[in-house]
A and B are shown apart, each in its own frame.
Chain A
């Protein structure tokens, strides 16, 4: 496969041939397997471990038109200390904001957490390459050390895979030392086959992470989609030796969802990915539910929304 891989990025036709030559995903089988793994029962000490791990994987996100510096500061402070009443609670992995607020977030978290910024004409990806690169440069200059770019889904769906590839390569170059997460927006890709192809395309182009969605399109991250992407990063590492991370985002509400994803990571990709460096969860309200579950484990009594912050 390695020889095939090295040829894959040689020309547009080779790339297209490689991607369409990827084995198809058995939709019924994938959904069935995800559903089976979701029934796994995680209790007591395993649950406590899973909750803490999930908290440490959260990219605490706010991507609203109404975001203010005050809200971003509050969010960054929360990412540093999610539960101020409990010093044993781990910090989140990163704060994820729009480029103009990256500096605000960086000022709060210092070098203790990562600051992720969306870029490249988020969320639609509809803009010229020049504008996208400029936005990436802006974000990194403002202190973002992780860039979440969106791919041009229009180009991907019409088969212009080379254009998508070149864009990712160019953005990766513009990122410099910053990590690049490539958002596939799986809700618009229509099939699991496309999710698998887009995952490989992004990884071949140099993505450090592949991310499911912007959170602006429904459906966002679903368990089968994350599973297909985890299979892709596993196979990619087997083929090239390079490990790529996965970040499902959007659609997460409950701690139970997060724990199910951890089970799927362990079963599909392996424990190497059970680490905030290789798996992230893009979410906002999820963190509160993780904290409520954590408080329930600590006190033995069900907790309520009065005991966590609003955002």
Chain B
């Protein structure tokens, strides 16, 4: 081998749907550039049909994932954090390329990503105690409120490379929902790498489905999809003409009473999150049970 030049092994960045890594059904891809505009890679450009397939996969995975014990869900998420830790150099490199930041800043971000994931993993088996509980009632009954996952959540991830994506996906799956997420269009590579982490960390296929491409193209189909239970518009642009997209998405989602979370431009993802993102994809079930035999 010595002397001869090695043939480069180039990577094809694909979607992550139903636990597999398919190319886009449309066969399209788009160019991803680094912070200085140089070519970085080609990423798959998902179509509405990839969105449809992702929702089918998410729906299929949802009962099984919600049926796991919350403790087990927390363990699986923690396992994902362990694998992320193994891959941290790859994440650091991808963040540096995407945003042009220095080693130290990229380190800080990857720390924050993994810590955020672990934080939500910890909440998996605690959220029911905090958001649910026994209610005092005037009668011989136990009255219990239990938070339950709402189902399939479609997410438009924030524009940043990874921390925003993790901050919106982790809380949704920690509580037993399954997710279809459209990754940031300019920075899809860390999202695909996250998919590779999830594929190798005991997370059942279909719990997280990652699409790369244009949110303006795919999101309307997810918003109007009758089998999507909640729509997270956190990453939707609201400036100028783009504001219309957010409004149209909300209107489409309202058609089937889909729960909507509105865009959050300029959110500070490094700040400590509250319980808000855990609770919005939960539905509270209240049960009356007679005291006695």
Query: Which A residues are CB-close (under 8 A) to B225?
Result: 301-302, 304
Q: Give residues of chain B (183-225) contacting chain A, Cβ–Cβ below 8 Å.
A: 221, 224-225
Whether A302 contacts B52 by the Cβ 8 Å rule is: yes
Whether A304 contacts B224 by the Cβ 8 Å rule is: no
Closest chain A residue to B49, Cβ basis: A302
Q: How far is the CB of A289 from chain B (nearest CB, A)?
A: 11
User: Bound complex: CA of A82 vs CA of B225, how far in Å?
Assistant: 21
Q: How far is the CB of A309 from chain B (nearest CB, A)?
A: 15
Query: Which A residues are CB-close (under 8 A) to B224?
Result: 300-302
Q: Does B227 contact A (CB under 8 A)?
A: yes
Q: Give residues of chain A (286-311) contacting chain B, Cβ–Cβ below 8 Å.
A: 300-307
Q: How far is the CB of A38 from chain B (nearest CB, A)?
A: 16
User: Bound complex: CA of A217 vs CA of B55, how far in Å?
Assistant: 30
Q: Does B283 contact A (CB under 8 A)?
A: no
The count of chain B contact residues (Cβ–Cβ below 8 Å) is 12
Query: Which A residues are CB-close (under 8 A) to B221?
Result: 301-302
Q: How far is the CB of B50 from chain A (nearest CB, A)?
A: 12
Query: Which A residues are CB-close (under 8 A) to B52?
Result: 302
Q: Does B68 contact A (CB under 8 A)?
A: no
Query: Which B residues are CB-close (under 8 A) to A300?
Result: 224
Q: Does B248 contact A (CB under 8 A)?
A: no
Closest chain A residue to B220, Cβ basis: A301
Query: Which B residues are CB-close (under 8 A) to A307?
Result: 226
Q: Does B255 contact A (CB under 8 A)?
A: yes
| 28 contacts across the A-B interface (CB closer than 8 A) | A300-B224, A301-B221, A301-B224, A301-B225, A301-B226, A301-B252, A301-B255, A301-B256, A302-B52, A302-B55, A302-B221, A302-B224, A302-B225, A302-B226, A302-B227, A303-B226, A303-B227, A304-B55, A304-B59, A304-B225, A304-B226, A304-B227, A304-B228, A305-B59, A305-B227, A306-B226, A306-B227, A307-B226
Q: Given A302-B55, A302-B227, list of 9 further CB < 8 A pairs?
A: A300-B224, A301-B224, A301-B226, A301-B255, A301-B256, A302-B226, A303-B226, A305-B227, A307-B226
* B interface, CB within 8 angstroms of A: 52, 55, 59, 221, 224-228, 252, 255-256
